[in-house]
Structure 1
Amino acid sequence: MQLCLVELGDKPPPFSGSREWIGTVEAALCLDHYYGVPCQLLHLPHGRWGLQGELETLYSHFQGGGGPVLMGGDTDNSSKGLLGVCSGPCGDHVLVLDPHYYGGPGSLSAAAAQAGGWVSWRGLDSFEEPSFYNLWNPQRQHP
């Protein structure tokens, strides 16, 4: 990915082979470059309030058959995968996948993923207010 970002002109040559951070914007550039999958980038400058304002966009994305949405932030810098949206009497929630799990193929059942907190419904109040968030929604290719 680092070499791709250098070749695209997004990063200077010393970036390749470094231990520098790759964020959601850079991941979206690589996804488009390697696989021809464009992404809709959403910048949410106001934490959970920005996420609240984009719930309809996320709902439409998932209803339309869109896949996981990558989420990264600044002060909340733990990347997340968003898998769904739910609104109800208990408030608005997003289904969050923690992409940091590691293990062999088949080593994590759905029940263990939920019990271990690798997949969970999270209320919007669990997202930091001072943090900005970037989301990228891979766009479906229509023939």
Structure 2
Amino acid sequence: MGDKPPAFAGSRDWIGTVEAALCVDHFFGVPCKIVHSPRGSGLAGQVGALYAHFQGGGGPVMLGGDADSSSKGLLGVCSVPAGPHLLVLDPHYYRGAEGLGREGMQAAGWVRWQGLASFDPASFYNLCLPQFRRDAGDGAGEN
């Protein structure tokens, strides 16, 4: 795309959530909304935006941080008496693991419900919410 030096292509260097948003927009024509939480403890303030995103038909959300450098894919959100939980898919999931079934994928740690209290309170987090467009013929306009 031209935003990195030529040596980046083919390297094992990482990209962040902002770069992932640029790639999704550039290669797939899907713009993304970046939501920044300066502290992990502030993720609770983003639960409403996540509910709205998923209830509106939004797809997986990319989540990355600084001190918490383990990238995450978010597939859903729920509230339970213990507080909000995010359905996290490890983005390193590989297609061969699909034979494990739901229980096997959970047991292997590929997918799990993770409470907000378990996120690093000192880490900042960026959420990348793909903004899928609804078909103009359905009367809903754009999402």
Do both share a fold (TM > 0.5)? yes
Q: Work out whether 1:21 is the aligned partner of 2:19.
A: no
Match of 2:74 among 57, 71, 82: 82
Q: 1:102 aligns with which of 83, 91, 94?
A: 94
What is residue 52 of structure 1 aligned with on the other side? 44
Q: Give, in angstroms, the shift of residue 15 of structure 1.
A: 2.6
Superposed counterparts of 1:1-143, under 5 Å: 4=1, 6=2, 10-47=3-40, 49-104=41-96, 106-142=98-134, 143=136
The Cα shift of 1:19 comes to 3.0
How much does 1:88 deviate?
Answer: 2.3
Q: Note the residue ranges of structure 1 that are not aligned, 5 or more in a row.
A: none
Q: Assess, with a 3 A threshold, how the Cα gap between structure 1 residues 89 and 105 changes in structure 2: closer, same or farther.
A: closer
Identity of aligned residues (%): 63
Change (3 A) 1:66 1:103: closer
Q: Normalising to structure 1: TM-score of the pair? A: 0.86
Q: Distance in 2 between matches of 1:105 and 1:20?
A: 25
- Unaligned runs of 5+ residues in structure 2 are 137-143
For the residue of structure 2 that corresponds to 1:107, the secondary structure is helix
Higher alpha-carbon deviation: 57-66 or 112-121: 112-121
Aligned-CA RMSD value: 1.5
Q: What is the CA-CA distance between 1:16 and the residue it aligns to?
A: 2.8
Q: Deviations for 1:65-91, whole angstroms, at most 9, x for unmatched residues?
A: 111101111111111111111112121
